[in-house]
Structure 1
């Protein structure tokens, strides 16, 4: 039996980041995951400035960002905003592109060697007010003071612990990802591009193009069901489906070729119930999901992990026991609660803003572009600072994103 202070189950983004922070802080930690190298997985493919600001608090930002492609360093460093086949704004770049599996493996590389890395599956957990027992698929057992459950969408361990997952919005959004390049062989004129839908009936949030290495990556966010005929067309004839959805897009990007496989991933919104238990803390998607279209997933993970590792775990380990009153401090953390609420509210707001036909939503769709253009104009003439020199935590960027 191995004995340690913290066992992290799951080595995706949340688990790997947790293990890296704890290990670098000198806290005895074991990381349990069946994959020695994280496999390809369609999830977060870029970080924005707000998410990087949270990541800075973990001490891992420099390591992670070194592996990304920053759109602000490409050509003129401007991200184009377009609709109806017209460019309506050009903003300073602020996106760091990286495939999810690469980001996870970079985080794994930051884990110190004294963290115990167990290539196995956790199959059973017994929790208590003092110590927890984790049984593994290789027949071994780990005794620990705290279990951090970071195993994403998996429900087997949660079912065993009596933690229920309540789906609040099935297939809330669908992410479609692919690489794209001009048929001319020339580079695109923009460093990055966000293209918004022309009609609510398109059931689309936006298309975003951003660089990852030498490739231009596309993330198309839509609100449809998985049996939608358009999705079938997108799988089998993606270029025709893309321009059928956005016929005026060709004015900006020209003739293009979709390179490699088209990946499609639906996302349910769900929350956990019965999770307030002694000896175990849920982080990231293990606790609650987020909508990829709203772009809050990585920020939600980094907020969970930063608060848990920098604030709560050191305090918990400083005194005996791991009773539920300790664990509740994490779930009631005001910073975590605020980000969870923001993530949830923007998931629903963006969906309504994109597809609802009511007059109030039509007005808001018009206003979002007017406000965004006004902010850009104010930045250009120096009324407000685009570099956020005198406002907290990327205020102008968040206001742009939210409009």
Structure 2
């Protein structure tokens, strides 16, 4: 997503952009499946909100279970999306504006004859030359490792999420388009389940801080509904009984952040720079914020000055708005990983997505002034 949107924004500024991806179509992949308010605002700013798929109405009412209480939150502006369908729609739209190459990038090296240029070596194709390369390849780019980039890691800060489609046994509609069941803060490692509509399908996501060696990882994957009844004992009070109608998808990650490199003409964004726990709901926020800062603040400056050295590039990584989003994402991850920090009013506020969004917007507004 970061690469597609960056290509669109930079082409709109009159720059010649080549988008390189090893796949013509994104295969089905379990990634972000719900758009939150701040993400919606940024996509609208980029004039890309209409490219989400399915193109459905907001979820509206959220029915949540928390501390034994069921509450309703009305007029919630969230959208359920199929990530790969949205990516493919974005690619189709962006390919009208930029050159789209289907190829595997083998390496990115400095051009020895032209200091302000990078050579992008492609498998089975002629190399490309460009003054600036944006790496938006997701998980810990091997391309950057080849350039000597190192990552700061914390494998104890781990996250495993699950996704699957559900329906009621009689196939009758659910009473609400969105549900959330939040567990009390403890050392259980299982955080919450959220159920929401994507088009005509009800989708469930389960978020945990489990490590891959925990036996509950396989239990949730292979014996899902009994495990849900075990760990979310009042779930049927919230949703009524349901059944799984798809395979259970799983996504595992751990925390890493790229150490600021001395790379001329190469910049990393999104998960190529720093990982994020899906539990926090900040994954797309961090990605879209990177795109916003890079394309609307730094790239115009770099091309105006015709300067792409590592000192200029590193100013992007240190920019206050970007650092705030990165820090907010990592702190939110640590907040879920440390049950002792989840208590009282602060815990309840963090469950309220509306309050979460407002606080984040106020922080970013303060940074910009």
Q: Which runs of 5+ in 1 are unaligned?
A: 1-12, 377-385
| Distance in 2 (alpha carbons) for counterparts of 1:212 and 1:193 | 13
State the superposition RMSD in angstroms: 2.5
Deviation at 1:338, TM superposition (A): 1.2
Q: 1:69 aligns with which of 40, 44, 56?
A: 56
Change (3 A) 1:265 1:322: same
Alignment-derived partner of residue 34 in structure 1: 22
Alignment-derived partner of residue 367 in structure 2: none
* TM-score under structure 1 length normalisation: 0.82
Change (3 A) 1:322 1:398: closer
| Distance in 1 (alpha carbons) for counterparts of 2:222 and 2:357 | 40
Q: 1:22 aligns with which of 10, 28, 47?
A: 10
SS in 2 for 1:285: helix
Indicate yes or no: 2:293 matched with 1:298: no
SS in 1 for 2:243: strand
Alignment-derived partner of residue 212 in structure 1: 198
Native 8 Å contact 1:85 1:250 kept in 2: no
Alignment-derived partner of residue 73 in structure 2: 90
Which moves more between the two structures, 261-270 or 105-114?
Answer: 105-114
Alignment-derived partner of residue 225 in structure 1: 211
Indicate yes or no: 2:164 matched with 1:178: yes
Native 8 Å contact 1:70 1:211 kept in 2: no
Change (3 A) 1:260 1:30: same
Deviation at 1:198, TM superposition (A): 4.0
Q: How does 1:235-254 map to 2 (within 5 A)?
A: 235-254=221-240
Alignment-derived partner of residue 165 in structure 1: 151
Deviation at 1:276, TM superposition (A): 3.8
| Distance in 1 (alpha carbons) for counterparts of 2:89 and 2:29 | 15
Native 8 Å contact 2:54 2:81 kept in 1: yes
Report Cα offsets for 1:316-339 as digits up to 9, x if no partner.
112334212221231122211111
Native 8 Å contact 1:24 1:111 kept in 2: no
Alignment-derived partner of residue 123 in structure 1: 106
Deviation at 1:67, TM superposition (A): 3.5
Report Cα offsets for 1:191-233 as digits up to 9, x if no partner.
2111011462432121111110111111100121223222222
Native 8 Å contact 2:132 2:266 kept in 1: yes
Change (3 A) 1:331 1:15: same
Indicate yes or no: 2:43 matched with 1:55: yes
Change (3 A) 1:22 1:371: closer
Report Cα offsets for 1:52-73 as digits up to 9, x if no partner.
1222332322333x6443444x
Native 8 Å contact 1:93 1:192 kept in 2: no
Alignment-derived partner of residue 89 in structure 2: 106
